[in-house]
Structure 1
Amino acid sequence: MTKPAPEILRAAAPQPDGGGSDFAQLSRRIAAEGLLDRRPVYYAVRAGLVLFAFLDGWWALFALGDTWWQLALAAVMAGVFAQVGLLSHDLAHRQVFSRRLPSEVGGRIAANLLMGMSYGWWMNKHTRHHANPNHETRDPDVSPDLVVWSQRQARQASGLARFIGRRQAYLFFPLLLLEGLNLSFNSFRALRSPAVKRPLLEGVLLVVHFAAYFGLVFAALPLGKAVAFLAVHQALLGVYLGCVFAPNHKGMLMVTPEMRLDFLRRQVLTSRNVRGGLLLDAVMGGLNYQVEHHLFPSMPTPALGRAARITREFCAEKGIPYYETGLLRSYREILAHLHRTGEPIRSGG
């Protein structure tokens, strides 16, 4: 879906019917169901379980002692850290609290202190992504850094991006092994950016996190096992986060500066929902309902499933393509997209 198909172009123009914009009509249906109401019990239970798993993991590090079974714990802790990150995502979108201050306090505790990622840096980047998903020049998530996301980017690529672009479909998942390190690097680098509103506070929290992180691992394990633990943990954290976020938009419609889409269509046509059950909802933190999350970012996670049914029916009424698929199929589509976008580099274009 990287090139706008004819049916997508026909659906791109909103069709007002006297009841306001299409998005306004959908919003009224969503609000009437109470799907934007806060879910304090859900988030209290979820945060409690994540915090318990986080603390229990560090207790297990010392309980297990000098054994290579620690690498299994590192894999489990990668999942726990990712869940902390998903919780900070919900806090940033004010899904947990309606007010800014408690959302920011909770977000910085979860992201900076517990996970080791700058809340301010990620918030700025993620806000720009939500405003212009899959936009070639405005969405930082599809900027041509190491991977090119459109053939136009491929034709303009140089250096390492051009080298990787030739075989990026094969390198995509291996590159995710470095994503954990990339998040840490960008978090510290962003402390010098005006985008981070509380650089001193965030910097202190990051330093405390990594001092405790490295201190606990090296205190519990001999050098070789400690290094192996850190490597496995950071690598699998990157893979987990990449596998959660990649299906959301990658391989869907890429928006070019020439295209004109209203808010509803811009969010629906560039997003992919991933079918699954309660387990997938938990693993992906509700981001498998990406269409609804982009339309209603402050909607609590447990309301997204019901919102998806309403949105799917509404899009059918309006003739707007609404896409959802299985998890494995989404990965195949991502890799096929990456292979297509790298073609100009392979052909010397």
Structure 2
Amino acid sequence: MSQTVIDDSRPQQRFTSLYTDLSHTVRDLGLLKRRYGYYWTRIGLVLLSLGGIVTGFILLGNSWFQLLMAGALAMVLTQVAFLSHDSAHRQIFDSAAWNDWTARILAGGLAGMSIDWWRGKHSKHHNAPNQLGKDPDIAIGVVAFTPDHVASRTGLVKWLGDRQGWLFFPLLTLEGLSLHVAGLQHLIRRDATKLQRIEAGLVVSRLAGYVTVLFLLLPPGKAAAFLGLQLALFGVMLGASFAPNHKGMPLVPATMKLDFLRRQVLMSRNIRGGVVVDFLMGGLNYQIEHHLFPSMPRPTLRHVRPIVREYCAKHKVKYTEVGFFESYGIVIDYLNNVGLRARDPFQCPLSAAMRAPATS
């Protein structure tokens, strides 16, 4: 790759052309067509599942078996979040308005999350995955992604940061609560738009109604256990579907300019595993293809994968794909490298290429 980057007098233009060629191929094959049957079926199954959970909740009454309902609800709400993600990316309908309102109703009305907040954050991630100062998914937070982030910490926060790899999955139990809080903070601002106020009404009504029903129909202890388990499992399921896609891939310096093809492929990782992994990760296991074609319907991603993989091999662009469990091992090791060993675990290959001497 260093030879490609250095010896080409206009690499940006050449790689831009490469993506254009790939995009035309995919479009000509009809791989961007809408999959209405798939999505209406998924939405219908989600609604039926929620109805079944509500029925089971009422029939069980005052029982600790309600915790099984909490686990089932967490799984179904994770699928709701995946559908709202797809709709926010305009994968479901041709109409932008239909996609936006579907995403808003699914996320706000069913899952109690703000799609407006999430979409703003997620769009920045798609524009510059793993780029320091630009990708909010690697910004300073509970988990540190660079040694500089760890070095700035003190006390208990530093202790947690030093062990963040081992604590990663326990920390994910708080992700569901964090998503609800961040969304509400975004929606209840004084300068919120009309649509944001409508969404705030959806989110607040859903969250308040959910908690009220729990504490009206169950004793406080069981209600709290139900709520805590559901939020914890929801956070783990959702966070675990996003984490392997970019964590442990190279970090890009803030000032580096990259063409679209390499920016999306080199910083993303696919996860193997078949239909089970497809379900658990909501199609996000085809992360490279999703980043290259964000509006491509979820079920089509697996069909375009061999095309993208062959294309990347032909043009010597590294295509990363690992197994399901291996991916989490990589994430944990990456975070421990940043924390315990306080060193850069990965160097951007493009930076190394730019510094490497040209060869003839």
1:59 CA drift (Å): 1.5
2:51 matched residue in structure 1: 55
Please state whether the residue corresponding to 2:295 is helix, strand or coil.
coil
- Does the CA-based 8 Å contact 1:78-1:236 persist in structure 2? yes
Taking the TM superposition and a 5 Å limit, the aligned residue runs for 1:117-156 are 117-156=113-152
2:55, 2:32 → 1: CA distance? 38
2:311 matched residue in structure 1: 314
Q: In 2 relative to 1, CA 236–9 (structure 1 residues): closer, same or farther, beyond 3 Å? A: farther
1:154 CA drift (Å): 2.8
Q: In 2 relative to 1, CA 329–8 (structure 1 residues): closer, same or farther, beyond 3 Å? A: farther
Match of 1:208 among 190, 205, 210: 205
Please state whether the residue corresponding to 2:318 is helix, strand or coil.
coil
1:250, 1:303 → 2: CA distance? 24
- Does the CA-based 8 Å contact 2:176-2:231 persist in structure 1? yes
1:68, 1:95 → 2: CA distance? 40
Taking the TM superposition and a 5 Å limit, the aligned residue runs for 1:282-293 are 282-293=279-290
**Stretch moving more, 255-264 or 29-38:** 255-264
Query: For structure 2, which runs of at least 5 residues remain unmatched after alignment?
Result: 344-360
1:247 CA drift (Å): 0.8
1:219 matched residue in structure 2: 216
Q: In 2 relative to 1, CA 20–266 (structure 1 residues): closer, same or farther, beyond 3 Å? A: closer
1:11, 1:132 → 2: CA distance? 25
1:164, 1:7 → 2: CA distance? 41
1:23, 1:344 → 2: CA distance? 38
1:33 matched residue in structure 2: 29
Deviations for 1:232-288, whole angstroms, at most 9, x for unmatched residues? 000000000111010111111111124332111000011000001112112211100
2:358 matched residue in structure 1: none
2:71 matched residue in structure 1: 75
Match of 1:65 among 40, 49, 61: 61
Q: In 2 relative to 1, CA 94–303 (structure 1 residues): closer, same or farther, beyond 3 Å? A: same
Is 1:236 aligned to 2:229, yes or no? Answer: no
Is 1:260 aligned to 2:260, yes or no? Answer: no
1:179, 1:104 → 2: CA distance? 24
**Stretch moving more, 311-320 or 191-200:** 191-200
2:161 matched residue in structure 1: 165
Please state whether the residue corresponding to 2:132 is helix, strand or coil.
coil
Is 1:342 aligned to 2:343, yes or no? Answer: no
Q: In 2 relative to 1, CA 232–220 (structure 1 residues): closer, same or farther, beyond 3 Å? A: same
Q: In 2 relative to 1, CA 74–209 (structure 1 residues): closer, same or farther, beyond 3 Å? A: same
2:274 matched residue in structure 1: 277
Structure 2 length normalisation: TM-score? Answer: 0.89
Q: In 2 relative to 1, CA 7–184 (structure 1 residues): closer, same or farther, beyond 3 Å? A: farther
Match of 2:293 among 291, 296, 320: 296
Is 1:247 aligned to 2:244, yes or no? Answer: yes
Counterpart amino acid of residue 43 in structure 1? Y
Is 1:333 aligned to 2:330, yes or no? Answer: yes
Taking the TM superposition and a 5 Å limit, the aligned residue runs for 1:177-192 are 177-191=173-187, 192=189
Query: For structure 1, which runs of at least 5 residues remain unmatched after alignment?
Result: none
Deviations for 1:97-155, whole angstroms, at most 9, x for unmatched residues? 12221111111110011001011101101111110111111111111111111223333
2:50, 2:124 → 1: CA distance? 30
Is 1:44 aligned to 2:40, yes or no? Answer: yes
Is 1:102 aligned to 2:72, yes or no? Answer: no
2:356 matched residue in structure 1: none
CA RMSD across the alignment: 2.3
1:300, 1:172 → 2: CA distance? 30
- Does the CA-based 8 Å contact 2:16-2:261 persist in structure 1? no
1:87 matched residue in structure 2: 83
- Does the CA-based 8 Å contact 1:37-1:300 persist in structure 2? yes
Counterpart amino acid of residue 141 in structure 1? D
Match of 1:22 among 18, 22, 26: 18
